[in-house]
Structure 1
Amino acid sequence: MLRQSLLAAFAVATGLASLTACSSPSNTTAPNPPSTTPAPTTTAPASGKVTITWAASPIANVGIRKKLIQLFEQANPTIKVNLISQPSSTDTNRASLITEISGGSTTPDVFMGDVVWPGQFAAQSLAEPLNKHFPASFFARFAPGLVQGATIKGNVYAAPFFMDAGFLYYRKDLLQKAHLPVPKTWEQLQSEAKTLVSNKMVKYGFVWEGASYEGLTCNWMEYLTDAGGQVFNAQGKPNMDTPAAQHALSFMRGLITSGVSPQAVSVFQEPQAMNTFNNGQAAFLRNWDYAWANSQTPGQSSVVGKVGVVPLPTFAGHGTRGYACIGGWDLYINPHTKHMSADLTFINWMTSVPAQTVLASQYSEIPTNASVQNSPAVRAKNPVLAIVGQTNLIARPAQNPYYAKVSTAIYTNVNAALAGQVSVSTALSQANAQLASAVGSSSL
C-alpha cells in the first residue's frame, strides 16, 4: 500500500513540476517561493509534523544545506528536517555512517554520500533501493550516465544530488596568438601544446592530475573510455590489459615523454595542476568544474580573462567529444528509517527543478536534473554550466563493493607507468592481476 500511495503522490507532484519548469527559473530561486512551487505530498501522522534527519557534510561552506532545508520545509509544511552535519573528510564521514547504520540505527533517515559508495552500501545493506519506491519516470529526470553509477545489480541505491565533472581549460590568448583552434581530440591537444612550448610561448603545454591517488583514477577513466575500453567487462572480469587500455596509457605516458606535460605531473594533484595553470605556466589544464571560478579570481590567478573551457577531447575517430569522470554527491535512504514516505518526498524535492535551480543559479553547483542543466537561465550563469549538458559522463567502477581496492589497483599501476618505473604493458598486466585479487577479496 505504501508503494501505491507514493506512486500516486509522485504522479501528482511531477505533473505540477512539469508546469512550473516552463516558468522563469528566477521564480524558483526567490527567498519565499510562491505557493505554487511543486511539492510532493506525504502522509503526516495525526499528531502533526514528521521530523526526519538529514546527515550531510558541508557543501562549499556557504549555507547551501540550510537554504535548501528552508525551501523544502516551506514547500512541505508537514515535514521538518533536522540537519546532522557530517565530517568534511569523505572517509571519516563514510566510516561514521557505516557504524551507525550497520548497528541498526534508524537515523539518519537520509544521508548525503559520495558517488563511489553505492557498491559497498548495497553489498552491506546500508542503503534502501530507491527503485522499490519511485517509478521509472523519477530516474529519467537525471542527466545520462548518473543513475548508472548508482545502480547495482538492477537496483538504484542513490539519487544524484549535485555533480562534479572534468573539463578542459585553455588559454584563449595563446591559441589566438598562435592561430590555433580549440582542440577537439587528444592528438590535436598534444600537437598544439607542443607547438606552444616549442615556440616558447608557455613553459608547459598541458597539466593534469597524475599522482598516485583517486584523482588519477578519474583521469584514467576518461582516457580509457575515450579509447573504447572498460575496467571490467560485461561479465565483471578485469579488463585493463587490452589494446584500448594500451592506447590510453601509452598516450598518457607520451604526454610526459614528449615534453607536452612536465615529468612532475606524475606527482600533481588538483592544487598543483591548478596553481601551475593559474600562474600562467601551462596552456591547457584538465580539472574539475571549480577550476573556472578559481582561474577567474584576482589575487590567486594571473590568467583572469584569458581562459576558456570546453568538454574534454576524445581520441581521433572516437566521436566529437570525450568522456568526463563523474564526481559529486548522492542522496541515500537508511533502510532502517521509520519515515520512508517523508524521506522519499525529501529526495524527490531535492532533485526537482526548483531545488536544482537553486543549487545551480544561487550556488553554481552542477545540477543533476537534466532539464535544469539545459535551462537557458542556468546555462547563462557561467561557462561551465553552459556546457555541462554537452558533456559525456562516465562513472568510476564503484558498483563493485571493493571499490577502494579497485581504485588503488588502478592508480598505483597507472602512476608507475607515468613515472617511468615500469612499462605500459607491465603496468596494465599488474593492474589486471590486482583487480582480480580485489574483486575476489572477502573484506572491504
Structure 2
Amino acid sequence: MTQYRSKKRFFLACASLLALQIGLAEAASANTVLHGLFMSQAGYSEADVRAMTAAYVKMHPDVTVDLEFVPYESLHDKILLSKGSANGYDVVLYDVIWPAEFATKHILQDVSDRITPDMKSGIEPGAWTTVTYKDREYGLPWLLDSKFLYYNKAILAKAGITAVPTTWPEVIADSKIIKDKGILQYPIAWSWSQAEALICDYAVLLNAYGGQFVDSAGAPAFQTGGGLDALTFMVDSLKSGVSNPHSTEYLEEDVRRVFSAGQAAFALNWSYMWALANNNPKESKIVGQVGVEPAPGVPGKSTISSVNGAMGLGIPTASKNAAAAWDYITYLTSQKVEDAYTADAIPMWKSSFEEPALMNGPLGPMAKAMETTQTQLFPRPFVPNYPQFSAALQTNIQQSLLGKAEPAAALKAAADTITGD
C-alpha cells in the first residue's frame, strides 16, 4: 500500500510538472515577437533605437522585438526580398523615395485608417509626403530632414562678408570674394558623386529655380525651365572654380569631412552635420564657428529651397502582427520619445519647436532652420519606377558636371531614357 501511494505521488508530481511545462510553453508561445529592420547609419543611432525599444519592451513584457540593422544601401532590397519570406519583417524603416513602388507592389500595408486626427494635426505638414502615395498613407514619418546651407563664420569674417547669403547667386558672389582674396581655393563643397546624394542636391536647386521633376501626368519635366536652370547653375559653379571639383566624387560624409576641416566656406548637407561640425571637437576643427540656415532661394523664383530627406516606418503586408507593429511604431514616433533623442534628430511634431530646451539648446540653430524648412519639404518624384528614374538622372547629370555633355543635352538624354524614347 505504501509503495502504491509512493508511485501515485510520483505520477501526480510528474503530471504536475508536465502541466507546468505545458503552461510555460503556452505562455511563451503567447509572447508576440516583432521583427524590425532599421538603418545602421545617420539619424537615430543603433544605440538610440535599441534604447527606445528596450523602454517599449519594458512597458510591454508580452512583446519581444528582434532588431536588424543594415546599411542604407541594403535597406530597399531587404524590404523587397522579405515579401515572400515566411519569417519576414513586421516593422521596416524606408526612404521617402520608395512609397510609390512599395504601394503598387503591395509591399507595405495601407495604414490610413489607423492614423488619428491628433497625428494629422500634430506632425509637421511637410513630413506627410514621406509616407503618402495617391492620398493614402503607408506608415508614419520618422527622421524629418532636409538639406541646409552650412557656412564657416570665421572664413566669412576674414573675407569681410557681414551678411549670410540668402540667395544662391549671393552664395556664388561671396564664394568668388573668398576665392579672389586667396582664403580658399574652392569655397563650396557638394555631394555630386553619381549616387542618390547627387539627386538630393539637384532637387534643392530644382526647387530653388521653381522646377519640377515630373508633370501632372508623371512624365519627366526637369529637362526645361527650372530643371535646366538648376543644372546650368551647377555646371557654371564648377567652371568658375568656386565649387570644389572633387564634389563630383563626394558623398555627404566627404562633404562633412571637408567642411569640418575648415576647407569649405559653404556646404549643402543634412541636419546631422550640425552637431558633428559645430559641437564635436573629435570630429571637427571648426567647433563654434559653424552657421546653418535654410538652403537659399533664387530671386523671383523662391525664398528658400529644400528636399524631403525624411524616412518612414511601415508594416509589410506579410506581417502577422500588424496591431502590435503599429503600437510599436506609434511609440517610436511619439513626441515624447522624439523629444528625448534630439541629439541625433530633430522631432517632427509641431509643438516640439516650442520647447526651450530644443530651441535654445545646442541644436537650437539647426532646429530654427528646420522649423522654417519643414513647411515646404520638396519631394523627389512619386513614381513606382523611382530607382530607374534616379539612375538615369544621376548618369546624365554627372556627364554634364564632368564636361562631357551640355546641360540641355544631358537632361534630354535622361528624360528620353525614362520615357523609353
With the shorter chain as reference, the TM-score category is 0.7 to 0.9
In the alignment, which residue of structure 1 is the partner of 2:167?
A: 185
Give yes or no for contact 1:180–1:192 (8 Å, CA) kept in 2.
Answer: no
Give the 3-state SS of the residue equivalent to 1:219 in structure 2.
helix
Give yes or no for contact 2:150–2:290 (8 Å, CA) kept in 1.
Answer: yes
1:426 equivalent to 2:380? Answer no
- Which of 295, 313, 324 is equivalent to 2:296? 313
Q: Highest CA radius of gyration, 1 or 2?
A: 2
Give yes or no for contact 1:102–1:126 (8 Å, CA) kept in 2.
Answer: no
Distance 1:127 1:186, change over 3 A: same
In the alignment, which residue of structure 1 is the partner of 2:189?
A: 207
TM-superposed CA distance for 1:125, in Å, is 0.6
In the alignment, which residue of structure 2 is the partner of 1:94?
A: 76
C-alpha offsets along residues 318-340 of structure 1, whole Å, 9 cap, x if unaligned?
343222x2224311112233333
- Which of 20, 28, 53 is equivalent to 1:69? 53
TM-score for both structures, normalised by structure 2: 0.85
- Give distance in 2, aligned partners of 1:152 and 1:166: 23
- Give distance in 2, aligned partners of 1:400 and 1:385: 31
Distance 1:109 1:271, change over 3 A: closer
TM-score for both structures, normalised by structure 1: 0.80
Give the 3-state SS of the residue equivalent to 2:267 in structure 1.
strand
C-alpha offsets along residues 345-382 of structure 1, whole Å, 9 cap, x if unaligned?
2222222211111231xx42122223224433222231
Name the aligned partner's letter for residue 351 of structure 1.
T
Name the aligned partner's letter for residue 73 of structure 1.
V
- Which of 108, 111, 119 is equivalent to 1:138? 119
C-alpha offsets along residues 43-84 of structure 1, whole Å, 9 cap, x if unaligned?
xx9x9764433232335545112211132234x436524123
- Which of 364, 375, 388 is equivalent to 2:344? 364
Give yes or no for contact 1:149–1:396 (8 Å, CA) kept in 2.
Answer: no
* Identity in percent: 26
TM-superposed CA distance for 1:394, in Å, is 1.6
1:54 equivalent to 2:36? Answer yes
Name the aligned partner's letter for residue 357 of structure 1.
D
In the alignment, which residue of structure 2 is the partner of 1:175?
A: 156
TM-superposed CA distance for 1:247, in Å, is 1.4
Give the 3-state SS of the residue equivalent to 2:254 in structure 1.
helix
Q: Which moved more, 1:144-153 or 1:407-416?
A: 144-153
In the alignment, which residue of structure 1 is the partner of 2:67?
A: 84
TM-superposed CA distance for 1:299, in Å, is 4.7
In the alignment, which residue of structure 1 is the partner of 2:316?
A: 334
Name the aligned partner's letter for residue 288 of structure 2.
G
Q: Which moved more, 1:121-130 or 1:329-338?
A: 329-338
Task: Tell me which protein shows more helix as a share of its residues.
Answer: 2
In the alignment, which residue of structure 2 is the partner of 1:406?
A: 389
- Which of 196, 200, 212 is equivalent to 1:230? 212
Give yes or no for contact 2:33–2:66 (8 Å, CA) kept in 1.
Answer: no
**For residues 2-401 of structure 1, what are the structure 2 equivalents within 5 Å?**
50-58=32-40, 61-74=45-58, 76-77=59-60, 79-88=62-71, 90-103=72-85, 105=86, 107-177=88-158, 178-296=160-278, 297-323=280-306, 325-360=307-342, 363-379=343-359, 380-382=361-363, 383-391=365-373, 392-397=376-381, 399-401=382-384
- Give distance in 2, aligned partners of 1:429 and 1:57: 35
C-alpha offsets along residues 240-272 of structure 1, whole Å, 9 cap, x if unaligned?
122211211111111111221133322222233
Give yes or no for contact 2:209–2:302 (8 Å, CA) kept in 1.
Answer: no
Distance 1:373 1:121, change over 3 A: farther
Name the aligned partner's letter for residue 203 of structure 2.
M
Gaps in structure 1 of 5+ consecutive residues: 1-44
Alignment size in residue pairs:
386
- Give distance in 1, aligned partners of 2:53 and 2:74: 24
Give the 3-state SS of the residue equivalent to 2:296 in structure 1.
coil
- Give distance in 2, aligned partners of 1:371 and 1:119: 29
What's the RMSD between the two structures over aligned residues? 2.3
- Give distance in 2, aligned partners of 1:331 and 1:179: 43
Name the aligned partner's letter for residue 159 of structure 1.
L
- Give distance in 2, aligned partners of 1:175 and 1:92: 40
